[in-house]
Homo-oligomer: A and B are copies of this chain.
Amino acid sequence: MKIYEFTQAPNPRRVRIFLAEKGITVPLEQINLAAADNRKPEFLKINPMGGLPVLELDDGIHIAESVAICRYFEETHPKPPLMGIDAKDKAVVEMWQRRMEFEILMMTAGAFRNMSDFFKGRIPQVKEYGEVCRNAALKRLEWLDTVLADREFIAGPRYTIADITAMVGIDFGRTTGIKILENQKNLARWHQAVSNRPSAKA
């Protein structure tokens, strides 16, 4: 078993943090995104979408998509639970995971993809759409600050995959000037708490 990843990219970080919280070690193999190694034919055989990370199981099966990889380890190593504990809680955690993914991480990533020099000439960049993403992310951080007024973590009293996605999304916002504002005290308190966990450095 191994994981293809690229340490600087946000999605591989999600999986590394998830594994660290579970106390699981999996060998990592770097695929250099900066050199576009993920677009080479050998890698496209592993994941036709070209995305990272990808989990390779011992029988040769490849699991792409960060949350699908997390699901695999949640099922094989249920403790501590990071994706919910019963039907209702699993649904609540999945709702928050998706909100954090679509409203925060995809927006900071969308800003970067469409505005950074990194993607120049690699994908059709639409700067105006990058601005839409940046504004959406900033608006959502404002909202997330109010959500965190009455709870310790994003999905309630327990740390979950939703916290991982939100932290990784917010931290990636630095690439395009998206950040927690000084008056967003709840968000800042939460961000400090999740950043102080040893897993944040994984």
Residues of A within 8 A of B (CB): 48-49, 55, 57, 61, 63-65, 67-69, 71-72, 75-76, 86-88, 90-92, 94-95, 98-99, 103, 114, 124, 126, 128-129, 132, 135, 143
Bound complex: CA of A57 vs CA of B95, how far in Å? 14
List 10 contacting pairs A-B, 8 Å CB cutoff, sorted by A.
A49-B99, A49-B103, A65-B95, A67-B94, A68-B94, A68-B95, A75-B86, A124-B132, A126-B126, A126-B129
Bound complex: CA of A103 vs CA of B64, how far in Å? 13
Contact B72 A143, beta carbon cutoff 8 Å: no
Instruction: Determine how many copies of this chain the complex contains.
Output: 2
A71: contacting residue among B49, B61, B75, B90, CB under 8 A: B90
> Which 8 pairs show the lowest CB-CB distances between chains A and B?
A75-B87, A72-B91, A129-B129, A68-B94, A68-B95, A126-B129, A65-B98, A65-B95
* A99 surroundings in chain B (CB, below 8 A): 49, 64-65
Bound complex: CA of A48 vs CA of B94, how far in Å? 16
Shortest Cβ gap from A10 to chain B (Å): 15
Bound complex: CA of A152 vs CA of B64, how far in Å? 21
* A129 surroundings in chain B (CB, below 8 A): 114, 126, 128-129, 132
* A57 surroundings in chain B (CB, below 8 A): 88
Contact A71 B94, beta carbon cutoff 8 Å: yes
* A126 surroundings in chain B (CB, below 8 A): 126, 128-129, 132
A63: contacting residue among B71, B95, B114, CB under 8 A: B95
